[in-house]
Amino acid sequence: MPTALIIGASRGIGHEFARQYKAAGWRVIATARKSDDLAQLTAHGCEALPLDVNNLNDCAGLAWRLDDEKIDVAILNAGVFGSRTNGLQSPQQEEFDQVMHTNVLAAMRLLPLVLPMVENAGGKLAVLSSRMGSIGLRENNVAWLYRASKAALNSVLKDASLSTQKATCIAFHPGWVQTDMGGIGAEISVDVSVAGMRQVIAESSRVQNGQFLSYDGVTIEW
Ligand code: NDP
């Protein structure tokens, strides 16, 4: 039975990844930071692990629990948006730290822990980036802190892809998705977004290593 690891599975896109892989008969290891969400994931048949991605002890605990596992698909989904600024409004230090720690520093801590387990399986590792992180496609400067964090995450993913001979590392734009973050007016449902990304992951090979892809498989400019 293949194994999926979903980091940040309490709600939204991460929760849907856990639900769809479970429904497809996979073993699913899913993380959340609140006890209610952990209980709900367990009730759905997932192996639920506590993880606040900004907590070093939690990250060490995850590494210990997953030691020597073979992970076929790992999804680093946890992320925050921060304020919806327009133009060059300097962020407060606290908000900068929250967005950059969650979206970038956590990836720089977790990818080195998780990638060896994905390599054990010759598997796939995906991070939830965003088209808003693309510098080449930049059309406005709404939410520049979030954009900067996803551009940095893309750099982190690219470097992870260069460090592996065995795994396939992909940065995803999930579409504009109806979640707490995307809002109810967003373009696509969470099941369409996740089904698309699962298909792209399933059809990917080492050719896709280090690529920035949309949920429908279209290449996104860095
Ligand atoms: P949601 O806001 O609906 O969910 C965010 C998820 O991240 C929750 O599971 C949340 O857990 C988790 N999370 C946040 N901070 C932490 C933390 N410190 N430790 C552990 N988990 C944390 O977002 P979406 O589902 O919409 O987005 C998922 C990813 O996709 C994000 O990285 C986002 O940037 C990206 N994305 C989303 C788009 C959209 O249109 N929705 C578009 C482009 C990219 P908790 O419930 O505990 O807060």
* Residues 43-98 pLDDT 10s: 999 999 999 999 999 999 999 999 989 999 999 999 999 999 999 999 999 999 99
pLDDT digits (tens, 9 = 90+) for 3-58: 999 999 999 999 999 999 999 999 999 999 999 999 999 999 999 999 999 999 99
Pocket test for ligand 1, best of 17, 53, 80 (most atoms within 8 A of CB): 80
Residue nearest to atom 34 of ligand 1 (CA): 79
**What per-residue confidence (pLDDT) applies to 214?**
98
Model-level pTM? 0.98
pLDDT digits (tens, 9 = 90+) for 132-148: 999 999 999 999 999 99
**What per-residue confidence (pLDDT) applies to 62?**
96
pLDDT digits (tens, 9 = 90+) for 121-135: 999 999 999 999 999
Containing 119, the helix (H) or strand (E) segment is: helix 106-121
Specify the ligand 1 atom closest to the Cα of 11.
Answer: 9
Decide if 128 contacts 181 (C-beta within 8 A).
no
Tell me the one-letter amino acid at 85.
T
Q: How remote is the CA of residue 151 from the centroid of ligand 1, in Å?
A: 16
- Report how far residue 28's alpha carbon sits from residue 5's, in angstroms, rounded to the nearest whole number: 6
**What per-residue confidence (pLDDT) applies to 131?**
98
- Report how far residue 179's alpha carbon sits from residue 159's, in angstroms, rounded to the nearest whole number: 29
**What per-residue confidence (pLDDT) applies to 217?**
98
Give how far the C-alpha of residue 24 lies from the chain's centroid of Cα atoms, to the nearest Å: 20
Pocket test for ligand 1, best of 6, 7, 10, 184 (most atoms within 8 A of CB): 10
- Report how far residue 178's alpha carbon sits from residue 40's, in angstroms, rounded to the nearest whole number: 21
CA geometry: angle 197, 202, 207, nearest 5 deg: 95
- Those residues whose C-beta lies under 8 Å from the C-beta of residue 90, and which sit 6 or more positions away, are none
- Predicted confidence band of residue 151 (pLDDT cuts 50, 70, 90): very high
Compute the average pLDDT of residues 176-191: 98
Helices (H) and strands (E) in the chain, counts: 7, 7
**What per-residue confidence (pLDDT) applies to 158?**
98
In the chain, % of residues over pLDDT 90? 100
Give the mean pLDDT of the chain: 98
CA within 13 Å, CB half, 54: 11
**What per-residue confidence (pLDDT) applies to 204?**
98
Residue nearest to atom 42 of ligand 1 (CA): 176
